[in-house]
Amino acid sequence: MALNLTRRKFLQTASLAAASAAMSGCFAKKADASAPFVRKPFTAPGSFAGTTTAVGGVCEMCFWRCQLVGKVRDGQLVKLEGNPKSIDNGQSICARGNAGVKLLYDPDRLKFPMKNVGKRGAPEWKRISWEEALDECASKLKAVVDKYGPQGIAIFPHGSSAKYPMTFFEHVVGTPNNSEASFFQCRGIRDTAYVATLDVAPGENVDMPNAKAIFLVGCHFGENVHVSHLKRYLKGLENGAKLIVVDPRFSASAAKADIWVKIKPGTDTAFLLAIMNYLVKEGKYDKKYVEEHGQGFDQFTKAIAHATPEWAAKICDIPAKQIKEVADMLAANAPSVSIHPGRHVSWHGNDFQRERSLACLTGLLGAIGVKGGFVAGKGPKSGKAGWPKPMAEHAEKYALHKLAKVHPYSPPGTPTDLIRNAAVTGKPYPIKGFVAWGQNPIQTIPDQALTIKMLQQMDFVLVCDVMPTDITMYADILLPESSYLERYDHIQKGTQWNFADPHQQFITARMPLVSPTAADHERKDSVWIVNELAKRMGYGEHIKVQSGEDMTDKILAGAEPPLSIEQLRKEDGIHVQPGVDPYGKALDVYFFSEDIAAAGFPGAPTYIPVPEPPKGFARLVYGRAPVHTFNRTMNNAWLHNEMPTNPVWLNDESAKKMGLKDGDSVMLVNQDGVKSRTSTVVKVTPGIRKDTVYMAHGYGTMNPLMTVGAGAGVDDQSLISKSAVDPETGAHGMRNNFVKFIKDGKELSIPA
Amino acid sequence: MIIDLDKCVGCHACAIACRAEWEVPVGKDSADRERKRNFVKRLGPSNTPHGLSSTYYPALCNHCDKPACVDVCPADKVEVTFKDAKTGATKTMAVAATWKDPFNGTVQIDKERCLGCGACADACPYDARYVNEDGDEPKADKCTFCVERVAEGLEPACVQTCLARARIFGDLSDPNSEVAKYVKKGAARLESAKVKIGPNVRYYGNKKDMHLLTSTCTPQAMPQANLRRTIMARMMKPAMEQVKGLGLLGLAGAVVVKGLSEDEKE
């Protein structure tokens, strides 16, 4: 088979040579003869040859925001690399970062403002001018505000460029109905749980390079890739840190672990309580730290006294011995232990309690402000620029969770489910204007049918994005945005990645690496778009920045020492200055929180059981593919090529009983009868529990305009039709859905 | 080059950096061969005698001691003088369109003289070559160990971007180099009884990962020589010779002959 194509090409070449010989002298190819013949070189010159280096790039293939340089030849970006001056990612960037070039030149990118002259969900696109697009967006959104009040608009933002529109709609227009995916479907629970426990949002601030033990609950580093974060993790392992990984699946991290805890999904809090109870009972905790900084410790120990290793062992389906082994390993290495707070934590609807447990465990081990523990680096100061807040109070007054007196630990914005329910029911007030900016709520939020119902009842739907996605199919007006390689819009700050190195801090601003303008498109950046909308909606007086560049310069001017874009360029894109020692800061630990108890929730961390899989079904767990950032990168030709589908992991013994082989094609159906739109292949492995199946998130987009990614793999979110809502935070839990397989039209039960 | 599987996290950055650096197209050059210079295969989780393992096979041209791809090249041989970058010593050899450098040990391709027949790609037991048909003529392509970047004082693209520093590039002949130290520690070649051609990318890792890697990714047989392809390559030659002999040429002919005349200069 290998022969055929090559042979065809071969004969072509051979016959061409022969034909040329035969035709020589008569110049049969007139058309070619008139144009100068430029031969495409056989060998690519390499990114270093004949290129200039553009500085000031800040990646946004994901949201870790590595610092970049661009190699540019004849105005074309040929390659992205880590900025050699970076003290964060250095010259390294991940697969996605490297593939940014393919996003920039993706022929499927949105190019012009478009009007949907078909239906939402089944669009027919008509190209319109910016003038017409902006006039229509402004008048339709203004009409919603006039009829229903500012709260009648919902905004679903994601990414750097969405911050300016988000704050415009929240603070200037005055709607509280802002649903950030990064909070309500990702890390918001973690942030508010840590604030409630340690009075600080944790980020991923554990000092892994200098840890003696690293403890990961669900984090699957390697499949989840953030460059400097992984550098920290790997440095820790290189320095001999013990690694404990808690995961129902043998993840990339479990593969490097000293202890893999093959836990039953949903039961992590029981596991953590048992560890803490064991440490307390055995006296293996940091008594001094707890005495000095612990709040409500006695109530806490009483509340978790029932949580013996034997109790948890049954719930978590792991040996009691292993729970003790983990606890002993943590105690033996305390306080230099990195209890990782996690990142995507909206799993089961009982997640606030798990995150509280992680924060309490950190405190119990005294692993705060010390080498290897929970330590936040100190970045430099910078200024502020953007929208004033004339309507912030109005927004606050109409916040749905406040009106209903629910979810007091909600992250900023309004819990997604409340927005969607209000829109669908019209109660307590109608929501009739919808703005998605860089977010694809179809693949972000559980229950796609309900999300679509919400969209269908809107008076107006505006979507702005770089690429077509599922949500763009529901837009009335679709606006094309400049990519992160063509715009100013983000200030990135931080420290050197390893605190064992001399303390430094850096500040950089995203600057375009290539010109945003070209003959074949009319893309604009969000500052320009929103300012134009604001003027047309009657909010022009509040505009404080005239462009992305202006905003960036104003924020930089507030840095210490004051900086500018010009100065950053002179400094090769990144300003680096001496930093400060991050160690030594202790934090109070609210083991038992009176505030949480007063709000009607358990004051001490508590295990709340989650629904069990019905007979014949397995729990659907999802996670990251190293080459993708959710749905955002699915159309990238290079990334797609690395992992063109998302195989569904199935336990090998179960597969045998089901008669399935590795590589078999299957579809999935969930407990509500929702079937996957597409199929994927089975990955048969001993590395997963029998009650769990797993797939990478973000595949299976339904937008045919994504010519590379459409229909590739299965959309896990389509199978997550049952929402769980975390009661404290209002954030979603997305791992309480259960699936069977369909092979050759036949439903296959998954044996327990 | 050494690939340290204890460090590798399977992020695939190496494969993409290579694609960007050398404009390697995606897709296949034939029914069963991906177009790539550098790739990562994900292995496991699978049981091994040493426990459950999940690891990666980051692969590229092995620049073998006895490369299977070199002798099968049907292009006419020309005399080429090689120079040792370290000592300045020179050596003149007759080589076809692909050869092994007598000094730095890398296996390289002269794209100008390559016939694009793919015989070399078929001959490689490691599937490290492909035929790039995106240019004006099909040409064999593969990892060069980024000798072009190295000459500029840069690291190979895959090494530079590796966040794990899992790829260690250096001079095996220098006993003090990091790569030589890894060899002493037991970094292994992916070789079998029937495939013993001295690959120079070596893998290092714990027992279970090395077991999974070597048991699933070591080639067990040399590919069968593709006679048809070699015959076709030979068939093409008379046509080109004919072109070469004519004074006036068509455009396509000019391209072929330009390549040939450059060879003669060498």
User: Quick check: B227 contacting A, CB < 8 Å?
Assistant: no
Kindly determine whether residue B164 and residue A1, on different chains, have CB atoms separated by under 8 Å: no
H helices present in A107-226, as ranges: 130-148, 163-167, 181-182, 188-198
Q: Do B255 and A39 touch (CB under 8 A)?
A: yes
Check A6 against B29: CB less than 8 A apart. yes
pLDDT band per the 50, 70, 90 thresholds, residue A518: confident
Instruction: State the maximum Cα–Cα separation within chain B, in Å, rounded to a whole number.
Output: 70
Asked if pLDDT for residue B27 goes beyond 60, the answer is: yes
Binary contact (B13, A97; C-beta < 8 A)? yes
Per residue in A20-32, pLDDT (tens digit) is 333 333 333 334 4
- Contact A20/B240, CB-based, under 8 Å? no
Question: Which chain B residue shows the shortest CA-CA distance from A81?
Answer: B161
Q: Does B142 touch chain A (CB under 8 A)?
A: no
- At residue A216, the 3 state secondary structure works out as strand
The pLDDT, as a whole number, for residue A41 is: 77
Could you say which residues from 60 to 119 on chain B have a Cβ atom under 8 Å away from some Cβ of chain A? Answer: 111-112, 114-118
- Residue A160 carries which DSSP code? G
Q: What would the two tokens of residue B252 be?
A: 């396509």
Subunit contact A626:B10, Cβ cutoff 8 A = yes
Q: Which residues of A touch B124 (CB under 8 A)?
A: none
At the top level of CATH, the class of B2-217 is alpha beta
What average pLDDT does this structure show over A366-393? Answer: 97
Residue of B nearest to A1 (CA): B31
Place of tokens 């808690």: A246
Mean pLDDT within A334-338:
98
Query: Which residue in B32, B52, B161 is closest to A93 by CB distance?
Result: B161
Query: Phi/psi of residue A244, each to 5°?
Result: -115, 125
pLDDT band at B86 (very low <50, low <70, confident <90, very high): confident
**Which among A13, A20, A99 is the nearest to B116, CB-wise?**
A13
CA dihedral A585, A586, A588, A589 (to 10 degrees): 120
Over residues A687-716, mean pLDDT? 97
Average pLDDT over residues A8-14: 41
Residues pairing with B91 in the sheet: B82
For residue A731, give both structure tokens: 């954030």
Residue with tokens 């013994």: A653
pLDDT of residue B240: 52
Q: What is the mean pLDDT of chain B?
A: 89
Asked whether residue A580 carries a pLDDT value surpassing 60, the answer given is yes
CB contact under 8 A, B163 and A227: yes
| Nearest-CA distance A708 → chain B (Å) | 12
Place of tokens 């004033």: A388
Average pLDDT, chain A: 95
Judge: B239–A18 Cβ closer than 8 Å, yes or no.
yes
Quick check: A24 and B252 CB within 8 A?
no
Q: Is a pLDDT exceeding 70 seen at residue A558?
A: yes
The overall longest dimension of chain A from CA atoms, in Å, is 100
**DSSP run (H or E) holding A570:** helix A565-570
Q: How far is CA B120 from CA A313, A336, B116, B203, in A?
A: 58, 54, 9, 24
Query: How far is Cα A432 from Cα A442, in angstroms, rounded to an integer?
Result: 18
Using a CB–CB cutoff of 8 Å, tell me whether B244 touches chain A: no
Q: Burial-class residue A562 by CB neighbours within 10 Å (0-12, 13-18, 19+).
A: exposed
B236–A10 C-beta distance less than 8 A? yes
Q: Does the pLDDT at position A705 exceed 60?
A: yes
Q: Rounded CA gap, A726 and A735, in Å?
A: 12
pLDDT of residue A510: 98
**Is B228 within 8 Å of chain A by CB?**
yes
Q: Name which of A71, A98, A106 to mutate to probe chain B: the one with the most chain B Cβ atoms within 10 A of its Cβ.
A: A98
Cβ burial, residue A654 (10 Å; 0-12/13-18/19+): buried
Which among A10, A238, A685 has the least Cβ separation from residue B117? A10
Interchain contact, A93 vs B13, CB within 8 Å: yes
Kind plus residue range of the DSSP H or E element containing A205? none
B27 touches chain A (CB under 8 A): yes
Check whether A38 has a pLDDT greater than 80.
no
A595-606 pLDDT tens trace: 999 999 999 999
Structure-token pair, residue A597:
């108890």
DSSP summary character for residue A612 = P
Question: Percentage of chain A surpassing pLDDT 90?
Answer: 93
> Using CB atoms, which residue from B30, B40, B228 is nearest to A5?
B30
Closest B-chain CA to A223: B11
Quote the pLDDT of residue A46: 96
Closest CA to A353 of A608, A621, A610: A608
Residue spans per domain, chain B: 2-217
CB contact under 8 A, A9 and B116: yes
* Nearest residue in A to B12, CA atom: A95
Mean pLDDT of B210-216: 98
pLDDT attached to residue A6? 42
Instruction: Give yes or no for residue B67 having a pLDDT over 50.
Output: yes
Q: With a cut of 70, say whether residue A34 has pLDDT above it.
A: no
- List pLDDT tens digits, range A261-291: 999 999 999 999 999 999 999 999 999 999 9
B9 to chain A, any CB pair closer than 8 A? The answer is yes
Kindly state the percentage of chain A with pLDDT values over 70.
95
Show the 3-state SS of A662-686: CCCEEEEEECCCCECCCCEEEEEEC
pTM of the complete model: 0.93
Distance to chain B for A131, nearest Cα, Å = 38
Q: What tens digit of pLDDT does each residue of A74-127 get? A: 999 999 999 999 999 999 999 999 999 999 999 999 999 999 999 999 999 999
Kindly indicate the confidence band of residue A14, based on its pLDDT and cuts at 50, 70 and 90: very low
- The terminus-to-terminus CA distance of chain A in angstroms comes to 43
Domains and CATH numbers, chain A: 50-105+490-519+561-578 (2.20.25.90), 114-184+381-481+523-544 (3.40.50.740), 204-364 (3.40.228.10), 618-748 (2.40.40.20)
Q: Nearest CA to B166 among A314, A252, A493, A539?
A: A252
Residues of A in contact with B45 (CB under 8 A): 250, 255, 685-688
What's the pLDDT tens digit per position in A631-683? 999 999 999 999 999 999 999 999 999 999 999 999 999 999 999 999 999 99
Structure confidence at residue B85 (pLDDT): 87
Q: What is the mean predicted confidence (pLDDT) over A571-595?
A: 98
